[in-house]
Amino acid sequence: MIRSDVRDGVTIRNPSTANLLIDSVDRPNNQQSADFTINKKYSILNGFFSRMAVSEVVLDWCVDNVSAATDNNVFTIRIDGTNFSVIVPDDTYTIADILNKLVSLLNALGGPTFSIIPPGGAGGYVGSASLASTAIFSIIETNLSRELNFTVDKDGLVFIVNCPVLLPYTYIDFISNDITYNQALKDATTNDFEQNVLYRWYFAWDGPAPADAYGYPIYQGYQRFITRRTLPFPKQVRWEANMPVGQLSFQVYSSQGTILLPSQTQNGEMEWKMTLLVSED
């Protein structure tokens, strides 16, 4: 006898996950790491998944923090009503490095003698170095002087370097509208420039920064680095389950809201990798 209350069984498959692995070196040869498009013969990713999330990012950063490209390599002073400018060579600099370079360049002008008073030195200040001269001078505001944050003291003979941040970019944003366009919940920001961001990389170490020769922190971006970050609670990007992932375009924007310059990114000075966790319901 067949029981009438027994029904056919239903096979249940637990939801699964997959990785979508992005590497900027996979871009076409004529494109740069801050703006490229990946096209493959077939779809990049197929499957009935419903969301993607960035789980880790690796940044290989070799971009100069002082350069003509970022317009922060000019330092200008005024002496007796005349302006004198020096051009700092493109490179990566700590605060100690840039102050020593400025003294060398200013003294090469053949005018008054410039020197650095180290923190706590005779006539100096605890915790801050100073740019000193044998003649009264003033500092004309440029991007470089603004980043060094000079404060005048002692009748125009000494300028204190107070809490400087020698970074043209404070963060970079990884953007892919091909991934985020389906997202109903959009990103928001206090900045006037708004994008839907896969991941924002802040130039900051996870722990205390090491110090340079004058005791200033060596912030991330002052020197070349390769660093990996994992995200315990990543942004979940909604995806239509019946849509494959075809062409993918990526851009990397600076904190000024512009794509990083080709001169900084097309010659291997910035490369990056990203792992996206793809999951079903």
* pLDDT at position 2 over 60: no
pLDDT digits (tens, 9 = 90+) for 126-147: 789 999 999 999 999 999 999 9
Query: Nearest 5°: phi and psi at 197?
Result: -105, 130
The 3-class SS string of 82-139 reads EEEEEECCCECCCHHHHHHHHHHHHHCCCCCCEEEECCCCCCCECCECEEEECCCCEE
Q: Give the C-alpha separation, 209 to 122, whole Å.
A: 27
Instruction: Answer yes or no: are the C-beta atoms of 29 and 265 closer than 8 Å.
Output: no
Q: Give the C-alpha separation, 53 to 151, whole Å.
A: 45
| pTM of structure | 0.87
Q: How many CB atoms lie within 10 A of CB 270?
A: 21
pLDDT of residue 23: 95
Q: Give the C-alpha separation, 71 to 73, whole Å.
A: 6
Instruction: Answer yes or no: are the C-beta atoms of 114 and 106 closer than 8 Å.
Output: yes
Q: CA angle 61-65-69, nearest 5°?
A: 100
* pLDDT at position 22 over 70: yes
Instruction: Answer yes or no: are the C-beta atoms of 176 and 246 closer than 8 Å.
Output: no
Confidence category of residue 188, pLDDT binned at 50, 70, 90: confident
* pLDDT at position 30 over 90: no
Give the Å distances, CA to CA, from 230 to 53, 163, 175, 220, 223. 12, 30, 18, 17, 22
pLDDT of residue 222: 97
Give the Å distances, CA to CA, from 259 to 39, 144, 212. 21, 21, 31
Instruction: Answer yes or no: are the C-beta atoms of 101 and 87 closer than 8 Å.
Output: no
Residue 192 DSSP label: S
If you average pLDDT over residues 214-236, what whole number do you get?
Answer: 93
Q: Give the C-alpha separation, 55 to 187, whole Å.
A: 18
- Structural domains in the chain, CATH included, are 17-64+168-279 (2.60.120), 74-161 (no CATH)
pLDDT of residue 9: 59
